[in-house]
Chain A
């Protein structure tokens, strides 16, 4: 069974630009979550989508947004990029939403903002 697939693996953008990251969950998984990982802040929750609806949102500014499609694939968008947005963005999928469903992570997209 294929794992969680994230594209692209690496991105270099300049301040003020916007970026879209893509995530394809494990087949059959309907919940997709996004996390940001930085050396200083560790892993921080961005948002979770289930059945095309945002179920949970972390403490990030409105520049960070996402969506989920009917096939459970998800995209995350960051507008007006700032230097501090440089991070590893991880997508994780689970069978269903809810606290007991383990998350499985993709390989991540490493975003560098210059």
Chain B
């Protein structure tokens, strides 16, 4: 079983709709959770981080964390074609700064 799992996609959403991305993790001691966006040929770019159960909103992005279910999600509201990218979920365990990444979900926003 992979430590951090994501559906590889592609997740196809129409422009203006909500894109919902999911991520599950296996280490119950995980402490911090991050979402990165990676355009093709580019490096990952930090979008959001969340440490506590519940929702955290930043502009069109909302991260949701449920530690009991070992589940973290990312919602992208009013999706734009420029949101088309691979979204990487990353988790740190109790040991420190080592980030474990999921395989990424490819999102395609169609005009």
Chain A residue with Cβ nearest B48: A102
B51 to A100, Cβ gap below 8 A?
A: yes
A positions within 8 Å CB-CB of B: 31, 33, 35, 42-45, 48, 50, 55-56, 58, 88, 90, 94, 97-108
A103 to B46, Cβ gap below 8 A?
A: yes
Number of interface residues of B (CB under 8 A): 26
B99 to A33, Cβ gap below 8 A?
A: yes
Query: Contact check: which of B43, B96, B97 meets A108 at CB < 8 Å?
Result: B43
Query: Contact check: which of B42, B49, B97, B101 meets A43 at CB < 8 Å?
Result: B101
Query: Contact check: which of A45, A58, A104 meets B46 at CB < 8 Å?
Result: A104
- Min CB distance A74 to B, Å, is 14
- Min CB distance B62 to A, Å, is 17
A107 to B99, Cβ gap below 8 A?
A: no
Q: How far is the CA of A56 from the CA of B51 in the complex (A)?
A: 21
B positions within 8 Å CB-CB of A: 31-32, 34, 36, 42-46, 49, 51, 88, 90, 92-104
Which of A88, A94, A105, A106 has the most chain B CB atoms inside 10 A of its CB? A105
Q: How far is the CA of A45 from the CA of B95 in the complex (A)?
A: 13
Chain B residue with Cβ nearest A107: B43
Contact residues in B for A31 (Cβ distance below 8 Å) = 97
Contact residues in A for B44 (Cβ distance below 8 Å) = 43, 90, 105
A100 to B43, Cβ gap below 8 A?
A: no
Q: How far is the CA of A43 from the CA of B101 in the complex (A)?
A: 6
Query: Contact check: which of B36, B96, B102 meets A99 at CB < 8 Å?
Result: B96
